[in-house]
Amino acid sequence: MFSICTVAVYGCSCERGTRNVVADRETRLGIDGVQVLSVAASDGRQRHEQYTYTDTSGIFEAKFSASGIAKCPILKVTLTKAGYITERIVDPRIGDTIFMLRTP
Protein backbone atom coordinates (compact mmCIF):
# COMPACT_ATOMS: atom_id res chain seq x y z
CA MET A 1 0.00 0.00 0.00
CA PHE A 2 1.27 3.46 -0.73
CA SER A 3 0.19 6.63 0.98
CA ILE A 4 1.06 10.22 0.19
CA CYS A 5 -0.09 13.11 2.35
CA THR A 6 0.44 16.81 1.73
CA VAL A 7 -0.74 19.43 4.19
CA ALA A 8 -2.51 22.53 2.93
CA VAL A 9 -4.46 25.31 4.60
CA TYR A 10 -7.74 23.36 4.35
CA GLY A 11 -6.54 19.90 5.35
CA CYS A 12 -4.71 16.99 3.91
CA SER A 13 -4.66 15.41 0.47
CA CYS A 14 -3.69 11.78 0.20
CA GLU A 15 -3.52 8.82 -2.16
CA ARG A 16 -3.60 5.17 -1.23
CA GLY A 17 -3.41 2.12 -3.38
CA THR A 18 -2.38 -1.48 -3.72
CA ARG A 19 -1.57 -4.13 -6.33
CA ASN A 20 -2.12 -7.72 -5.31
CA VAL A 21 -2.68 -11.26 -6.56
CA VAL A 22 -5.79 -13.25 -5.65
CA ALA A 23 -5.19 -17.01 -5.66
CA ASP A 24 -7.01 -20.24 -4.82
CA ARG A 25 -5.95 -21.41 -1.36
CA GLU A 26 -5.63 -25.06 -2.45
CA THR A 27 -4.18 -24.83 -5.96
CA ARG A 28 -2.19 -21.61 -5.36
CA LEU A 29 -3.17 -20.48 -8.89
CA GLY A 30 -4.40 -16.96 -9.64
CA ILE A 31 -8.18 -16.56 -9.91
CA ASP A 32 -9.56 -14.72 -12.95
CA GLY A 33 -12.65 -12.52 -12.69
CA VAL A 34 -12.79 -11.88 -8.93
CA GLN A 35 -14.88 -8.77 -8.24
CA VAL A 36 -12.86 -6.28 -6.19
CA LEU A 37 -14.71 -3.53 -4.27
CA SER A 38 -12.36 -0.91 -2.82
CA VAL A 39 -13.40 1.92 -0.51
CA ALA A 40 -11.73 4.70 1.46
CA ALA A 41 -12.89 4.33 5.08
CA SER A 42 -12.60 6.95 7.81
CA ASP A 43 -14.58 7.72 10.96
CA GLY A 44 -17.22 5.09 10.20
CA ARG A 45 -17.86 6.42 6.69
CA GLN A 46 -16.90 4.90 3.36
CA ARG A 47 -16.13 6.95 0.24
CA HIS A 48 -14.57 6.55 -3.17
CA GLU A 49 -16.28 3.21 -3.84
CA GLN A 50 -14.77 1.53 -6.92
CA TYR A 51 -15.23 -1.84 -8.59
CA THR A 52 -12.69 -3.72 -10.68
CA TYR A 53 -11.90 -7.36 -11.51
CA THR A 54 -8.80 -9.51 -11.35
CA ASP A 55 -7.11 -10.28 -14.66
CA THR A 56 -6.33 -13.78 -16.00
CA SER A 57 -3.35 -14.02 -13.60
CA GLY A 58 -5.44 -12.98 -10.58
CA ILE A 59 -3.88 -9.50 -10.37
CA PHE A 60 -5.79 -6.35 -9.43
CA GLU A 61 -5.01 -2.73 -8.63
CA ALA A 62 -7.06 -0.43 -6.40
CA LYS A 63 -6.46 3.18 -5.36
CA PHE A 64 -8.14 6.39 -4.29
CA SER A 65 -7.34 10.07 -3.82
CA ALA A 66 -8.88 12.22 -1.11
CA SER A 67 -8.46 15.89 -0.26
CA GLY A 68 -9.58 18.40 2.34
CA ILE A 69 -9.46 15.83 5.15
CA ALA A 70 -7.79 15.76 8.56
CA LYS A 71 -6.27 12.27 8.14
CA CYS A 72 -5.86 9.82 5.30
CA PRO A 73 -8.59 7.14 5.17
CA ILE A 74 -7.73 3.44 5.17
CA LEU A 75 -8.22 1.26 2.11
CA LYS A 76 -10.74 -1.57 2.51
CA VAL A 77 -11.02 -4.26 -0.15
CA THR A 78 -13.78 -6.88 -0.54
CA LEU A 79 -13.17 -9.83 -2.90
CA THR A 80 -16.16 -11.75 -4.26
CA LYS A 81 -16.47 -14.65 -6.72
CA ALA A 82 -19.10 -17.36 -7.11
CA GLY A 83 -17.84 -20.62 -5.61
CA TYR A 84 -15.55 -18.86 -3.11
CA ILE A 85 -15.93 -17.43 0.39
CA THR A 86 -15.89 -13.60 0.33
CA GLU A 87 -12.68 -12.06 1.68
CA ARG A 88 -12.42 -8.64 3.34
CA ILE A 89 -8.99 -7.04 3.70
CA VAL A 90 -8.01 -3.79 5.44
CA ASP A 91 -4.99 -1.93 4.03
CA PRO A 92 -3.53 -4.81 2.00
CA ARG A 93 0.23 -4.59 1.48
CA ILE A 94 1.40 -4.12 -2.09
CA GLY A 95 2.51 -7.40 -3.62
CA ASP A 96 0.81 -9.71 -1.12
CA THR A 97 -1.08 -12.75 -2.37
CA ILE A 98 -4.61 -12.96 -1.00
CA PHE A 99 -5.91 -16.53 -0.85
CA MET A 100 -9.57 -17.38 -1.33
CA LEU A 101 -11.16 -20.60 -0.08
CA ARG A 102 -13.75 -22.45 -2.16
CA THR A 103 -17.22 -22.79 -0.64
CA PRO A 104 -17.97 -26.28 0.72
Q: Sign of dihedral through CA atoms 29, 30, 36, 41?
A: positive
Domain with 29 in it: 2-100
- In this structure, the strands spanning 87-90 and 45-53 are unpaired
CATH of the domain at 72: 2.60.40.1120
- pTM of the predicted model as reported, rounded to 2 decimal places: 0.79
Q: How many domains does the chain have?
A: 1
The tens place of each residue's pLDDT in the chain, 104 residues long, gives: 444 444 444 557 778 889 999 999 999 999 999 999 998 877 666 667 899 999 999 999 998 776 656 677 888 999 999 999 999 999 999 999 999 999 99
